[in-house]
A and B are shown apart, each in its own frame.
Chain A
């Protein structure tokens, strides 16, 4: 059965430069709007039920933020320590500066084992590197085994949410997809039966795959342990059944001590899906040992940079790397709720995607993303590691429209949205608002000539009546009252 591999041909990467058109299309899709609204409402309610006590939540996330900041402050040392402990445990460590290097490393390992099939646990980093394409190009099937990932791969799509990849699809759509694409599957709208179909197909694959790939949620430097969080058990399958396990992760996922894991893990699952814990927490410290009867003979870890060191180089933007990928920011984002994950055109959608993608993909491709926020702060309020997302959005808006600050290295794509017109507009704005007399004169004119208000005001009047000045400014009303007129 090779349907999945054939279908990956249908996958199209959508350039981020067309972001605005895609969002317009997305918001007018009522079906999409409803399905995201319903799903996000559900996830928000589930999360809220986990944090009934705001003070307790603040204390927990204060600790989690501290752990992440501490880990990042010692990042290079911890990575070297992790490499030492993993190596001592028999796990092979590889480093990749970009997606191509990471994919080449993984293809190389797979070729060494003459692999035909790789089963994949959920890994957003492997989405980021577009590993499945690289494997297909090397003639190796890469099969997603997380149910949601399996569904989107079967349909030739990318995930629309980092935790719930197929959240944009209804069970009816999935029923049709399975009946059409899975050999021998009968049409059913029963979720239990649909999961049963996936289970049966994928169990055959777990048995035959030579390679299992996974992501990593936390890498513990002190013990040399890779931690994976999941509900389905496919992550355990991928990391236990095939003879070779390859884990891939961003360099920021390392923590120093095992005791740093419980606070982060507890917040991760509660923030993500409102669960106190997931079904499985999988702690992998070594390959199969002599006398052991199962587990992979080889375990590899690929540590990926791919722009993370750029975020790290700036003390403010370093906070981006505190992220533990819970997805709460997207669940609570009114923009994400309206447009869904695909419109972003990036691996990581929503608020975290808007602040991490510029480092991963460069500002030339992503400068529109940080503008797609009202800065409402909902993300900031729920982030379990207190990433100041609105501040970072403002910072990136500045970097996209300006040359680097003095003493700062340029970001990739620095100034990609620079515009002479906007420079003039903001210079004019500053000139007006720094000159009180001029400002009052402007107010006087705007109120006296309010009948000249244009009936069409750019995007504003698409769905609103025009902005029209009052008949007198407050300045004038106050002055009039003072003088007793």
Chain B
């Protein structure tokens, strides 16, 4: 099905799939993402049995383990509602990689493909499906945007997030050097190759800070933790915020809808 058609249907209900990192490390970003959807008059359902999309095992080459976990997640969304994920990386796994994971099992592959059609990264959903129109209530600020690689290359999040931020006239978005370059997180990569990962994270932190922005914004918890904790270790007060939390704060005092 054409994704363009998907965008044309405005749902009344959605499933919210938080991801394991948001669940354990950035739950406030998850709550803010839920608020952003609810303020558009959409009912948010949170399947209690959700755990992890399976990405760590999948990218480590442990396909059987990834498949077992993916299979349990695929059962969580029985109604034909969109599945909204506040992470481009995990959304990318469900949209693009679940069908590959079940390539050898036609019924499951069909199920994965059907699910893939319903999966949206948060900013994509807000922009293209809910077509939000916002009023900025925050003070003037300059931020910079870091988009995770999967979000950029699999989900187009850099464009969606930028378009959302562009609705906020008081928010100036500065562009960092090597904007499209990876921050060096890469899941288990950061543990397997700490020296390369640290070098990349350090360079990314430098580039973001050099923009002179007050904060950086990211739609992925993994990148955000990688960069934030690098900055913290340096004793640097410059920090990143999840896109959902940033947007929520900007809209805090505006009405339900503009």
The residues of A with any CB-CB pair to B shorter than 8 Å are 20, 23-24, 27-28, 33, 334-335, 338-339, 371-378, 380-381, 391, 394-402, 426-427, 429-430, 432-434, 436, 439-440, 443, 446-447, 458-470, 472-479, 481
A401 and B180 form a contact (CB under 8 A): no
Distance in angstroms between the alpha carbons of A371 and B62 in the assembled complex = 13
Rounded to whole Å, the gap between the CB of A351 and the closest CB of chain B is: 12
Rounded to whole Å, the gap between the CB of B196 and the closest CB of chain A is: 5
Chain A residue nearest to B34 in the complex (CB): A478
Chain A residue contacts of B149, Cβ below 8 A: 374-378
B24 and A447 form a contact (CB under 8 A): yes
A430 and B24 form a contact (CB under 8 A): no
Chain A residue contacts of B46, Cβ below 8 A: 478
B23 and A464 form a contact (CB under 8 A): no
Task: From B185, B194, B229, give the contact of A374 (CB < 8 A).
Answer: B185
B191 and A460 form a contact (CB under 8 A): yes
How extensive is the interface on chain B, given as a class? Answer: 35 or more
Distance in angstroms between the alpha carbons of A475 and B59 in the assembled complex = 25
Chain B residue contacts of A474, Cβ below 8 A: 18, 22-23, 27, 30-31
Rounded to whole Å, the gap between the CB of B90 and the closest CB of chain A is: 13
Contact string, B89-103, partner A, CB cutoff 8 A, digits 1/0? 000000000001000
**9 other A-B residue contacts (CB within 8 Å) besides A374-B186, A459-B190, A467-B229:** A374-B200, A377-B149, A398-B61, A401-B60, A432-B51, A434-B69, A436-B48, A473-B27, A477-B31
Contact string, B188-230, partner A, CB cutoff 8 A, digits 1/0? 0111111111111110000000000000000000000110011
The residues of B with any CB-CB pair to A shorter than 8 Å are 18, 20, 22-28, 30-31, 34, 46, 48-52, 54, 56-65, 68-69, 71-72, 100, 149-150, 152-154, 180-182, 184-187, 189-202, 225-226, 229-230, 232-233
Number of inter-chain CB pairs below 8 Å: 184
Chain A residue contacts of B49, Cβ below 8 A: 436
If A374-B189, A429-B65, A470-B24 touch, does A460 touch B194 (CB 8 Å cutoff)? Answer: yes
Rounded to whole Å, the gap between the CB of A208 and the closest CB of chain B is: 46
In this complex, the member of A376, A395, A398, A426 whose beta carbon has the largest number of chain B beta carbons within 10 angstroms is: A376
In this complex, the member of B20, B23, B191 whose beta carbon has the largest number of chain A beta carbons within 10 angstroms is: B23
Distance in angstroms between the alpha carbons of A189 and B230 in the assembled complex = 40
If A334-B181, A378-B182, A433-B69 touch, does A372 touch B193 (CB 8 Å cutoff)? Answer: yes
Distance in angstroms between the alpha carbons of A463 and B25 in the assembled complex = 19
B195 and A28 form a contact (CB under 8 A): yes
A464 and B193 form a contact (CB under 8 A): no
A338 and B199 form a contact (CB under 8 A): yes
Rounded to whole Å, the gap between the CB of B58 and the closest CB of chain A is: 7
Rounded to whole Å, the gap between the CB of A447 and the closest CB of chain B is: 7
Rounded to whole Å, the gap between the CB of B216 and the closest CB of chain A is: 16
If A334-B184, A443-B24, A447-B24 touch, does A458 touch B30 (CB 8 Å cutoff)? Answer: no
Chain B residue contacts of A380, Cβ below 8 A: 153
If A338-B196, A374-B149, A374-B186 touch, does A475 touch B48 (CB 8 Å cutoff)? Answer: yes
Chain B residue contacts of A463, Cβ below 8 A: 194, 198, 201-202, 230, 233
